[in-house]
Amino acid sequence: MTTKARTKQERRTRVDAAPKIPALEILNLSIKDIHTDPGQPRKTFDDLLLSQLSESIREHGVLQPITVRASDGKYIIVMGERRYRASILAGMKTLPCIVRDYHDGDVLEVQIIENLQRKDVEPTEEAEAIAYLSTRYAPSDIAKRLGRTDNFIRQRLKLAGLIDGFKQFVRSGDMTISLGVAVALFEPEEQQMMLEAMGEAFNAHKIDRMVKDQSYDLNKAPFDISDKVLVAKAGACGDCPFNAANQGDLFGHHKMICTKASCYGMKKEKALVNLIARSKKENILLIPEIRRYWLDGENNQAIISKLEIEGFKIYLLDDVDILSNPIEPTLESIKVEYQYYDYTEDDFKSALEEAMDLYHKKLEAFQSAKEHGYGHGIVFHPETYRQKEVFVKIAEAVANEQPVHAVPLADRKMADCTPEEQIIKMNDRETRKNQIEANKQFEEVVRMVWDTDYILLKKTLSVDEMVAIAIALFENHVDHTARRTYFSDFLGNASQMSQVEMVEAFRKNFKKETFYKLMRYILTKQVHFGECNHVNNLTNIAFYKAIQGYFKSDVEAIEKSYDEQRNKREARLKERIALLEMKIHGSGD
């Protein structure tokens, strides 16, 4: 026998010796003998898609058999209930089936995994199914079985904790999955309170606001989150199950968010108690971060009352001079600050030199604070209790004044006031009269100007006019957050100035760059999103053309990316249309 013949003979022998695997037998069973499984995890079926499938079955038949198991003379569907339902709609008498034996505990798992591999699975059903699998497997194992990421599995596990009242909004599409996950981070009792507070109609904005109001960024906590004894029963925040960082990246990568409002509140209050005790022990002046025109706020009044009960004489931000440890500027920070300016590298370096000069002056003042009568102080926020250590000096004008009272002076009767307070009330009344007269005077001047041709003048704006516009824009169009973020030094150190003095000081130190910065900020805030874009809205068109002068290459890169996507999409569309036209012409032949 030749070598080639021997090789063929050996191959045949090996094949013959291999165990025979029986082919799966497909049986055409009567639909009357087939029954759905009441324990099937899939509960929802799209009526329109079911109708479309029934039309296909009516024309072509069932192309893929369903899987069933025998039970008490009946056949129970394991996989393929949608095809079964569509076949009934199509009027089919029999259905191709594969009959398999399953252990009772395995049927549900097979059904769940089969359902989860569909593309149209409903999110809350998916969450409940994954929650069932989590009783048998670790999240990472479930992720591997389903071909999903670990974080996806953790999010769905959390979504399974959503109460039924919210799940119905996820099913209807009113509530996004991400908002559902955020709500599910809270205990069922807290979710129920959110649901009742929302009212009958779903309101995503209101729910989102509740979530934010009841969740707290632990990186901004006013207490040491690693402290195990601050609230002994709660322990440290790092390992707490209510720390979102321990539940997957549900708020962002490793972002530590507390979702247990009651625990956070206890720790926050304990932190305030400790702060008060420390300030008494070390003789540190405690300054609530409140200005006089915020004094009537409910939270502010509450914290002032608390400090009064503790025996503190209350001084507000307006009553003291504060020196904080300045942050040294860098070229990178300067470039961020002036990123929207058409600055050269030399311009940035020049701006850095100016910033460094100011930094050294502030640093010198901070380091020599004690020599100039400053003492240790702590400024803390009246709501968050976040604190910052500073040097502080009580302004001479208020050093001998009566302490700030928890009940505003304006709300007290004259008979309940001390003589000093009565004088203040009378002066306040006179001030109010003067304000009313000043308002009348101002209105008369404005109306006089309206009657002239001032607004028709073609002259270039004067510096004084730009100063007035800058302050008007700042006062009426810049929100509190932006003032702190972008314009913290807009009016300079104005804590001890009158309003008139502030305007005059701003006028003396006015730079056109300040005006440009403010105008550009206002311009960016006028841009509209949504249905408005850079081709159908006048403001947006103007803004788009303006920024092209500063970011030409970046804008062109973005435009190119969208053009490429658009071209690909249009090309695919043309191909589909061409195929359809071929079918049309073909059927016509």
Rg of the chain taking only CA atoms, in angstroms: 36
Cα 583 from Cα 560, distance rounded (Å)? 35
Exactly one of 25, 81, 282, 575 is catalytic; which is it?
81
Burial class of residue 311, CB neighbours in 10 A (0-12, 13-18, 19+): exposed
Cβ–Cβ < 8 Å for 363, 269? no
Identify the bridge partners of residue 285 per DSSP, sorted by sequence position. Answer: 377
Full 3-state SS string of 171-187: HHCCCCHHHHHHHHCCC
Cα 53 from Cα 50, distance rounded (Å)? 5
Cα 75 to Cα 87, 95, 568: the distances in Å are 16, 12, 49
**SS3 call for 377:** strand
Cα 149 from Cα 152, distance rounded (Å)? 5
Clarify whether 298 is annotated catalytic. Answer: no
Q: How many CB atoms lie within 10 A of CB 250?
A: 20
**356-361 contact pairs (CB < 8 A, 24+):** 356/328, 356/329, 359/326, 359/327, 359/328, 359/329
Q: How many residues does the chain have?
A: 589
What DSSP element (H or E) covers 284? none
Structure tokens at 521: 């900020």
Specify the amino acid at residue 225.
I
Full 3-state SS string of 181-235: HHHHCCCHHHHHHHHHHHCCCCCHHHHHHHHHHCCEEHHHCCCCCCCCCCCCCCC
Sheet containing 320-323: which strands, arranged edge to edge?
285-288, 375-380, 387-394, 320-323
The label of the residue with tokens 């690693």 reads: 226
Using DSSP bridges, classify how beta strands 74-79 and 216-217 pair: parallel, antiparallel or unpaired.
Answer: unpaired
Cβ–Cβ < 8 Å for 66, 95? yes
Burial class of residue 97, CB neighbours in 10 A (0-12, 13-18, 19+): buried
**168-176 contact pairs (CB < 8 A, 24+):** 169/202, 170/123, 170/124, 171/44, 171/122, 171/123, 171/124, 174/202, 174/204, 175/202, 175/204, 175/207, 176/204
Specify the amino acid at residue 253.
H
Cα 394 from Cα 375, distance rounded (Å)? 9
Residues classed as catalytic = 81
